[in-house]
Amino acid sequence: MRLILFFAACLLLAACSAENDMRPDRSVAVIAEPVGFLPEEAVVEAIGTARAAQTAELYPEAAGEVVAVRFAPGDYVRAGAPLVELEARAERLALKLAEVRVEEAEQLLARYRRIEDTGALSESQIEAGETALAAARIERDQAADALAERTVRAPFSGHIGFTEVDVGDRITPTTLIAQLDRRDRLFVEFNAPEAVFQRLGEGTSVELVPFSEPERTITAPIRARDTAIQQDQRSYRLRAVIANEGDRYRPGMSFTVRYTDRGRMRAAVPEAAVVWGGEGSSVFAVRDGKAVRVPVTIAARRDGLALVDAELEEGALVIAEGVQKVREGQAVELVEPREREAAEVEAAAG
């Protein structure tokens, strides 16, 4: 009987002690941290492919035998430079003949002009002479164009690639000679999700990391955005531009594209400060030495912090450690981490 009474007394004392610990006027040692404000961020990553700022696949305008190839793969060629020449003997002769006919027509019309005032020629004869000269000039221009088509020239300055065409080959207008690229600037094209359409477009910038140089980061502006959303992927196409200094990169290279979407500023509190109850999530702020429950809505998490919507001012203190021991209106004592450990040890010893 005495043993039962002894255990009952122990239980009563323990209950009283727990009740005393829960009293609001009994201070609890806690660690608090100030509230900061950070922008809500969403990171978009994609794979982009580089293309030359200007590129062209070169084809001949006429068929014929190749008599000269005036470039080597990788050469930098100037606009208008001859690249491939075709046999053109017949075209040269045709041009000389057309020039002779123009000269004859000019001489005939000049004779007509000299005797025009004598009345020996009718007006229609003079007009026929003028028409003959105009026709001869057109034939000469056509012959000159036909001769020019026997030489393939660079349409713009750039680097020229490999070719399968050699001297002696017979080629046609469907024969690919080579590809010409102007790569002093490169376009990096990539797809972005529809969710950032309103924020990621012309005028914004992205970070590009070349696959060939993962330690290098390039900031590149967006210069073009597609006009439609790709329905199958719910994304849209964008084009960033980079200056290819030193001819460092090549068309077709891959880049990791990163875009950080910075949204509204939100209160940032330690994740450990957030407690959950029947009314949802909240934190305990320290006001006038007491714990005050503040409801919060978590919008995002980052590096151990919760970005929340709450009635909290920047610099306000929220309880980060010891939050499980406090109640609404509980008196709290702010301590440093080591001081709190010592206080807990002393309380346990007492």
Structure tokens at 298: 């978590």
pLDDT at position 126, please? 80
Pairwise CA distance, residues 315 & 176, whole Å: 69
**Mean pLDDT, all residues of the chain:** 86
pTM tops 0.95, yes or no: no
Are the C-beta atoms of 257 and 24 separated by less than 8 Å?
A: no
> Are residues 97 and 137 located together in one domain of the fold?
yes
The per-residue pLDDT for range 94-126, each reduced to its tens digit, is 999 999 999 999 998 888 887 766 767 777 888
> Are residues 325 and 280 located together in one domain of the fold?
yes
The per-residue pLDDT for range 201-213, each reduced to its tens digit, is 898 999 999 999 9
Domain that holds residue 160: 64-85+150-171
> Are residues 206 and 243 located together in one domain of the fold?
yes
Q: How many domains does the chain have?
A: 4
Which has more pLDDT, 63 or 20?
63
Is 10 part of a structural domain of the chain?
Answer: no
Is 111 part of a structural domain of the chain?
Answer: yes
> Are residues 182 and 245 located together in one domain of the fold?
yes
The per-residue pLDDT for range 201-258, each reduced to its tens digit, is 898 999 999 999 999 999 999 999 998 998 888 999 999 999 998 899 999 999 999 9
The per-residue pLDDT for range 328-343, each reduced to its tens digit, is 888 888 887 544 444 4
CA 107 from chain centre, in angstroms, equals 66
Is 4 part of a structural domain of the chain?
Answer: no
Q: What is the CATH number of the domain that holds 138?
A: 1.10.287.470
Q: What is the CATH number of the domain that holds 190?
A: 2.40.30.170
The per-residue pLDDT for range 274-297, each reduced to its tens digit, is 998 888 899 999 998 889 999 999
> Are residues 280 and 260 located together in one domain of the fold?
no
The per-residue pLDDT for range 142-172, each reduced to its tens digit, is 999 999 999 999 999 999 999 999 999 999 9
